[in-house]
Amino acid sequence: MRALEIARKLAQLNETEKACQAYTLVLHESDGTDLAAELEAALYILRFGGGDDYKVSYTVFCGLYNQGFCKEDILQVMDGAFYAPNVKLIQTRYRKNCALLKKYPYIFREDFLRFEDLPIRFYPYDDNSYTPYYPAEERFGDYINFRETVIKHYFFKDLENPILAKDIYSQYELEYLRDNVRRSEDVARENHIYLHYSSWAEFCAYLTCLNMKPLLEEKKIVFLFEEEIAKYPIDFKERYNIDYSQMSVKPLAIRDVTRMIWHTQLSSHNGGDLFNEVFDAHPNLIAMPSIMIDNIQETIQKVREGLEACDSLEEALYSFSQWEAPQLVEELYHNRARTDKDILVALYLFRKEYTGFLDTSSRVVPPLFFQPHFAHIIYSLKVDEKNRAVLYSEDADILRTLPIFTGFKYIKTFTPMRRFTTSHGGTVRFMDYMAEKANRRKGKDDLTTTVTDAVSERVLNRGFMVDRQDRIYRDSVVVRFEDGKLNPKATFTALAAFLDIPYTESMTYCSDMNERDPHPETKGFDPAPVYKTYDDYINDNERIFIEYFLRDAYRYYGYDFQYYDGGPMSEERVKELIKGFDTIDSYIRKTWKVVFADIRVTHNGESVENELEESIQIQMLEHYMQEVYTTRVNIVNILMDKLRFVGKNGQPLRMMPLLKPDPALLEQPLYH
């Protein structure tokens, strides 16, 4: 192995940094036939590597051990490098958790195992992640991130009875339950969280990694082990003499709301309204239709300034009397540390026409259903110094740091997607309609509204590709518009499970403020929009271009090609396709012709000529269209060789997972 020889030579020369790079290459090139070389590489990197290089060695050690190679030696290395330096911390955490649980009223066992007798040993990988080792089986398991920001279980499917969850060992999910299940005292009925664990010994082992203290403070949780499941649910009146039914339901507070369901906008005409209408009037959602992102930011700022200008609660109540929600105004006024997230929640809650359908005595706190809308989403494309295709959208990137997002502890994200050529045709139709409407009404000093190069924008708009380490995309799925139309029950049952909300009767029809089928054009679940072709707004050359440059997305998301034959594509053929973009070019020309016709020549601020000669207008229009063509060719030059992308921070972008409709509930074959 050439890389191994180079690594050894560099190691002999004490070129440790370069040797580590060479040994890393050895591991990348390994085909699993030379395990000794892998062990040599991992040991060297562990000793001389820097930063997170140890993680490479850690992973290799676990893999080699599970293959039965040098098990005794590797376990000794793992113990010395990863377990022994952290064992005191792990032991201390275990003792503290056991002490807290022994004092806790709603756990019925106290026979905690000695630390030495625990059936699982956890080897730290980083601050939040561990790899379990099972001594009895002599194997390492898959590493676990106890704070991974993903809700993997469908906790809130059935709200008729108290929440029962089984074998939950994620710190993030446990805190999610604590934060989103309301106290029994607040809903005037028994509403504890019942955590059932199938193995007492395994539960004890996991106490070496979990932090029980924040989970126990409100005494919301009841722990059940093995056969104790028979106790579910406990009659608190009989057993503890606590009668919750004698208490009053407490109104929902702004800061009770900790989770957001983010309905993202991939592009225009992707069927977003269908999803808004399905989630309308849901008894466990704080939901409104889409809101322009600029408008919501402006409104939040006005509310903040309005509250800060009030010198008393009475003045605040008067200033915001139109809300008809004195409780919300009072809560915001007294909370001097109010955040944009707090104001956003209040702006939703006071809209009784949308929140009047909430189940005020629900067992769980409703999430905020939020669809911030952009007028237009544009992605830029460039090649970086490593010859990688870099995708970036200023509009989409705004959301990452907005306080209205960062203020929510839990975010579930779903993105409606429609067949790209269909969505494109609908977009061009809408652009043309809006341009004609605006240009008919525009005044002397108003700018002309134009149609942009929607084909190029379409192939660059890869909002379905995300950095999975980005918090707002960690827990996300794509949902196909066609599935929602053709198999609504199967699709929305699966989507409700992903979002962790009940699938309710309100999701079986489309509505706005509970008025059914509010948009005659889309007609609820009528599948007609699935089969629209928009032939007046897109031609076959444009369709082939879109399908070819989005071919990876077509395959990943289950769309068959309708125009591209699936074969190889040359640059010459692509350029011929571009020359045939007659449809989109006609709409671009129509609006830009108005732009150049409106140009006036001035001198020292005074008009000296009413308008440019028609021949000059034609030259300017042709020059602009040539620029459009050049931009398209530049895009082709970058995309012909690669459909692998990174974000502006250099991190790889990957496909957002596809939500799969419940196969047992399919009414029609899946759309392709």
- DSSP assigned state of 652: B
Are 622 and 629 spatial neighbours (Cβ–Cβ below 8 Å)? no
Across the range 555-562, mean pLDDT stands at: 98
Q: What is the rounded average pLDDT for all residues in the chain?
A: 93
pLDDT band of 600, cuts 50, 70, 90: low
Are 337 and 254 spatial neighbours (Cβ–Cβ below 8 Å)? no
Higher pLDDT, 375 or 465: 465
User: Which of 136-150, 407-421, 604-618 shows the lowest mean pLDDT across its residues?
Assistant: 604-618
Q: What is the pLDDT of residue 346?
A: 97
User: Which of 252-261, 564-573, 646-655 shows the lowest mean pLDDT across its residues?
Assistant: 646-655
Domain boundaries, the chain: 2-69, 380-412+420-480+534-665
Q: What is the pLDDT of residue 296?
A: 92
Residue 611 has pLDDT above 70, yes or no: no
Q: What is the pLDDT of residue 85?
A: 96
Distances (CA, A) of 178 to 5, 95, 108, 173, 217: 55, 22, 20, 9, 10
Candidates 363, 22, 394; CA nearest to 192 is 363
Convert the pLDDT of each residue in 210-251 to its tens digit. Answer: 999 999 999 999 999 999 999 999 999 999 999 999 999 999
Q: What is the pLDDT of residue 605?
A: 56
Higher pLDDT, 586 or 400: 586
Distance of alpha carbon 279 from alpha carbon 567, whole angstroms: 41
Three-state SS for 173-189 is HHHHHHHHECCHHHHCC
pLDDT band of 640, cuts 50, 70, 90: confident
Residue 543 has pLDDT above 90, yes or no: yes
DSSP code string of 593-640: HHHHHT--EEETTEEEESS--HHHHHHHHHHHHHHHHHHHHHHHHHHT
Distance of alpha carbon 423 from alpha carbon 269, whole angstroms: 5
Q: Say what percent of the chain tops pLDDT 90.
A: 81
Q: What is the pLDDT of residue 433?
A: 93
Q: Is the dihedral of CA 305, 306, 311, 313 positive or negative?
A: negative
Across the range 156-178, mean pLDDT stands at: 98
Q: Which of 271-285, 434-448, 636-650 has the highest mean pLDDT?
A: 271-285
Q: What residues form DSSP beta bridges with 598?
A: none
Across the range 410-433, mean pLDDT stands at: 96
Residue 377 has pLDDT above 90, yes or no: no
Three-state SS for 24-80 is HHHHHHCCCCCHHHHHHHHHHHHHHCCHHHHHHHHHHHHHHHHCCCCHHHHHHHHHH
Residue 446 has pLDDT above 90, yes or no: no
Distance of alpha carbon 268 from alpha carbon 427, whole angstroms: 6
User: What residue has token string 């290089």?
Assistant: 53
- DSSP assigned state of 196: E
DSSP code string of 229-285: GGGPSP-HHHHH---GGGS-PPPPPGGG--EEEEE---STTSSHHHHHHHHTT-TT-
Distance of alpha carbon 65 from alpha carbon 133, whole angstroms: 11
pLDDT band of 178, cuts 50, 70, 90: very high
Higher pLDDT, 394 or 462: 462
